[in-house]
Structure 1
Amino acid sequence: MKRKHSIAGLIAAVAAVAAGAVLMSACTSFGTAAEPVSRQVIAMTTVMNLKAYGKNAEKGLDDGENEINRLDKLLSVGSSSSAVSKLNAAGGGTVNADIDTLLKKSLSVYKSTGGAFDITVYPLMKLWGFTEVYNENDELDQNKPRDIPTASAIQAQLANVGADRIAYNAAAKTLTLPAGTQIDFGGIAKGYTSQRIVDIMKKDGVTAGNIELGGNVQVFGKKPDGSPWTIGLTDPNKTSRTMGVLTLTKGRAVVTSGGYERYITGKDGKRYHHILDPKTGYPANSDIKSVTIVCKDGTTADALSTAMFVLGKEKAVDYWRHHAGTFQMILMDSRKQIWVTSGLKGQVQSDRYKIRIISRGKK
């Protein structure tokens, strides 16, 4: 049964994921041709902010909100009536166009990253309790001490993890899941949703927009005043502030992952973040504090942000060097240094940390 989250609970959840966001009740504001029309939507346990420019902005916001709600109902593993939950319960079945796209992208990134991004990690997420971290008041309670899984329990669930275990017939759009294996698009759904909203708004004639779905941001078009898009990058060392600012003159998706976003506290007093390494079953032992992916496609950006965090700095940089035509990247490492791939040189500014450039060639 899908949990109905209170506004307070959602605000607390978003504060853990995207600290510093301004949270209000759902609303719409009206602007001039040079100002955006904005709307706030609550879905996917996230407070979402949509801004659109142009004479068709209202229609774009209406259609964008409808798309958010449609995809939430389709993809939510927290609802037994969602298409994904039904696939998990039945061990597979025929999928629609949305899930077909998500499966293809997920399996592609799984393969190219050596399994660092894996939609079958869901049984482990449930085992750790990351699917239910709300208290009786529907507020995010990440600091409440709780039992962590035993090594034997993790090992048992690892037998059900691995996207190579599932069979997908893309021509027939049929998915087969072996017993014990379940899927969850939580690591890619918001990126897919932002991309869908952008595509819909463009079709509606919206000239420019800023789509913010929690920690995912996607911008498109040019603002009427000609100014660039500026996006604040959350500081993983202190989430109430930014570590720097990214400036964009072209439409891009900007997605950040980090161990500070969501976690549980064990009875041993340690924090365990929610980004699990599919190979070990434990939170990824990454030397990256946060990783931001910048690319044209929101779906790709979302999947890669998780994968690069799991891979760690050295392997993430190596992956980028082989796929630099697809995405750019901003890393904050464990030594509190910001690393920026060469395609973003000059576009990231920080008054707090030193910025280093990652080149295409090896060090």
Structure 2
Amino acid sequence: MKRKYIKPAGLLMAVCMAVTGLAGCGKEKVATRTDFALDTVITIAAYGQSAEGILKEPFNRIRELDGKLNAFSEDSEISKINAAAGLEPVAVSEDTFNAVKKGLEYSEKTDGAFDITIGPLVDLWKIEAPGEGVVPEQSDIDAARALVDYRKVVLDEAAHSVFLKDPGMKINLGAIAKGYIGDAVKSVLQSEGVERAIINLGGNVVLLGGKSDREPFTVSLENPEDPLSNGSISDASTLGVLRERKNSIVTSGDYERYFIGPDGKRYHHILDPKTGYPAESGLHQVTVITDVSADADALSTSFFVMGLDQAMAYIGETEGVEAVFVTTDNRIVATKGMEDAFIFDEQNYGNQYTLEFTEP
């Protein structure tokens, strides 16, 4: 089975919805479609709409972009770029060029905590479902890490081409592709006249408007100590809810794709490009809230690698970014701007977690 986008789901829709749809939510018409794409279950709900046909183009757009950006598909444009590493530039579509450009933007902004050329390390570790994986030899990690360097990606705006300078380099957009696709789907819905919608790309959530003019959407934040195990919302354990409208919400965590090594240590899928190993930052889960889904996607991974202090410093210097962090010592640290938006389930988890709102 081909592997695709490796970011775990950490968000659960709690908008009077079941996995199968939203048609029963109150009396308002809601066009809903649930399908499997991007290696996950995707649900799109358009409020104030009655015909499911309005969701055909959004799903077509998802599959179109997946076909271009999936590093594990031999026919994708990303795979063609990787195959030509060290040989020649590859001309690509505007979609792929812009996605790579966006990824490079965050590679630079985060000083390599996020690096789109992490492909060799992803391929080496092969961390997928819980329990599956082995720790690679140090020599293999060193060899793969030597091929990770976003500064060796050359973009040609005029030719819309991408070139990897060294043979063996590989781009993997797994930590930004869903966000990029979410923004594209939002644009399709807006072009169709949809003003209020939920786009749930398996945990990457994009909100268009609110549930109503007065009421925001509600998104539940998964408990990393008791994560969703079988795709059933009823079985999920949630730390609290986020009440948001218009924004995008993306979570990264170490609890859904990992294995336990012979040393008893947990090895998860969020790799630190600078060490070649799973990130050890003192974080268990990171949720980022921004108005652009690609930004939230890239930053959730970046912040997980950076750790709490560096992530908070980044937020303090950046407009329009809010976050909720869960540390490995069971602290929930949220940015000050989340005081009215994040509602912690203190009754059930007050003995397990502490909550603090902090000015970045």
**1:233-264 Cα shifts (integer Å, max 9, x gaps):** 0111221311111111x300000001113113
Matches within 5 A, 1:219-258: 219-224=207-212, 226-239=214-227, 240-248=236-244, 250-258=245-253
Is 1:70 the counterpart of 2:64 in the alignment?
yes
Distance 1:20 1:217, change over 3 A: closer
1:354 is aligned to 354
Q: Distance in 2 between the 1:151 and 1:329 partners?
A: 34
Query: Match of 2:106, as an amino acid?
Result: V
- Structure 1 contact 340–357 (Cα < 8 Å) conserved: yes
Q: Distance in 2 between the 1:165 and 1:296 partners?
A: 30
Q: Distance in 1 between the 2:154 and 2:213 partners?
A: 50
Is 1:186 the counterpart of 2:174 in the alignment?
yes
**1:129-158 Cα shifts (integer Å, max 9, x gaps):** 13xx4xxxxxx4x224x4310111101111
TM-score, scaled to structure 1: 0.86
Query: Match of 2:57, as an amino acid?
Result: D
Q: Size of the alignment, in residue pairs? A: 339
**1:15-58 Cα shifts (integer Å, max 9, x gaps):** x7448789968x89698971422111211111111111123763
Distance 1:339 1:52, change over 3 A: same
Distance 1:32 1:345, change over 3 A: closer
2:193 is aligned to 205
Query: Match of 1:302, as an amino acid?
Result: D
Instruction: Give the superposed CA RMSD.
Output: 2.6
Q: Distance in 2 between the 1:95 and 1:243 partners?
A: 42
Give 1:332 shift: 0.9
Is 1:120 the counterpart of 2:114 in the alignment?
no
Gaps of 5+ in 1: 134-139
Q: Distance in 2 between the 1:150 and 1:214 partners?
A: 33
Is 1:337 the counterpart of 2:331 in the alignment?
yes
**1:319-341 Cα shifts (integer Å, max 9, x gaps):** 11111x13111111222121111
Give 1:310 shift: 0.2
Gaps of 5+ in 2: 228-235
**1:76-96 Cα shifts (integer Å, max 9, x gaps):** 122111111111112240121
- Structure 1 contact 291–331 (Cα < 8 Å) conserved: yes
Q: Distance in 1 between the 2:312 and 2:105 partners?
A: 19
Distance 1:24 1:247, change over 3 A: closer
2:2 is aligned to 3
Is 1:159 the counterpart of 2:146 in the alignment?
yes
TM-score, scaled to structure 2: 0.87
Distance 1:320 1:19, change over 3 A: closer
2:254 is aligned to 259
- Where 2:288 maps in the other structure, the secondary structure is strand
Runs of 4+ in 1 over 4 A off after TM superposition: 18-25, 27-33
- Structure 1 contact 28–40 (Cα < 8 Å) conserved: no
**1:288-313 Cα shifts (integer Å, max 9, x gaps):** 11111100000111000000000001
- Structure 1 contact 33–55 (Cα < 8 Å) conserved: no
